[in-house]
Amino acid sequence: MTHQSPDFFVGWGTLALINAGLAQSKNRSGLLWFFVSLFLGPIATLLIVCFDKKSK
Protein backbone atom coordinates (compact mmCIF):
# COMPACT_ATOMS: atom_id res chain seq x y z
CA MET A 1 0.00 0.00 0.00
CA THR A 2 1.40 3.37 -0.98
CA HIS A 3 1.11 6.56 1.01
CA GLN A 4 -0.12 9.63 -0.91
CA SER A 5 1.36 12.97 0.01
CA PRO A 6 -0.97 15.75 1.19
CA ASP A 7 -0.03 17.75 -1.93
CA PHE A 8 -1.83 15.17 -4.07
CA PHE A 9 -5.10 15.69 -2.21
CA VAL A 10 -4.76 19.47 -2.23
CA GLY A 11 -4.21 19.40 -6.00
CA TRP A 12 -7.15 17.04 -6.56
CA GLY A 13 -9.43 19.25 -4.44
CA THR A 14 -8.28 22.37 -6.27
CA LEU A 15 -9.06 20.72 -9.60
CA ALA A 16 -12.55 19.87 -8.32
CA LEU A 17 -13.12 23.53 -7.39
CA ILE A 18 -11.89 24.71 -10.79
CA ASN A 19 -14.19 22.21 -12.50
CA ALA A 20 -17.15 23.44 -10.44
CA GLY A 21 -16.50 27.01 -11.59
CA LEU A 22 -16.06 25.89 -15.18
CA ALA A 23 -19.34 23.97 -15.03
CA GLN A 24 -21.16 26.99 -13.63
CA SER A 25 -19.82 29.12 -16.47
CA LYS A 26 -21.55 26.67 -18.82
CA ASN A 27 -24.85 26.93 -16.88
CA ARG A 28 -24.41 23.52 -15.26
CA SER A 29 -24.55 22.50 -11.61
CA GLY A 30 -21.28 23.45 -9.94
CA LEU A 31 -22.00 21.30 -6.87
CA LEU A 32 -22.74 18.22 -8.96
CA TRP A 33 -19.58 18.66 -11.01
CA PHE A 34 -17.53 19.27 -7.87
CA PHE A 35 -18.50 15.81 -6.58
CA VAL A 36 -18.05 14.20 -10.00
CA SER A 37 -14.59 15.77 -10.16
CA LEU A 38 -13.62 14.29 -6.78
CA PHE A 39 -14.04 10.84 -8.34
CA LEU A 40 -13.03 11.43 -11.97
CA GLY A 41 -10.52 14.28 -11.65
CA PRO A 42 -9.01 15.26 -15.02
CA ILE A 43 -11.55 13.14 -16.92
CA ALA A 44 -14.32 15.38 -15.52
CA THR A 45 -12.41 18.42 -16.79
CA LEU A 46 -12.34 16.93 -20.27
CA LEU A 47 -16.08 16.20 -20.14
CA ILE A 48 -16.96 19.72 -19.01
CA VAL A 49 -14.80 21.29 -21.72
CA CYS A 50 -16.36 19.09 -24.43
CA PHE A 51 -19.97 19.89 -23.41
CA ASP A 52 -21.70 22.83 -25.05
CA LYS A 53 -23.06 25.66 -22.92
CA LYS A 54 -26.47 24.67 -21.55
CA SER A 55 -29.28 27.08 -22.42
CA LYS A 56 -31.25 28.50 -19.49
The confidence score (pLDDT) of residue 56 equals 72
3-state secondary structure 17-31: HHHHHHHHHCCCCHH
Compute the chain's Rg from CA coordinates. 12
Give 16-28 pLDDT, tens digit per residue: 999 999 999 999 9
Mean pLDDT calculated for residue range 7-32: 95
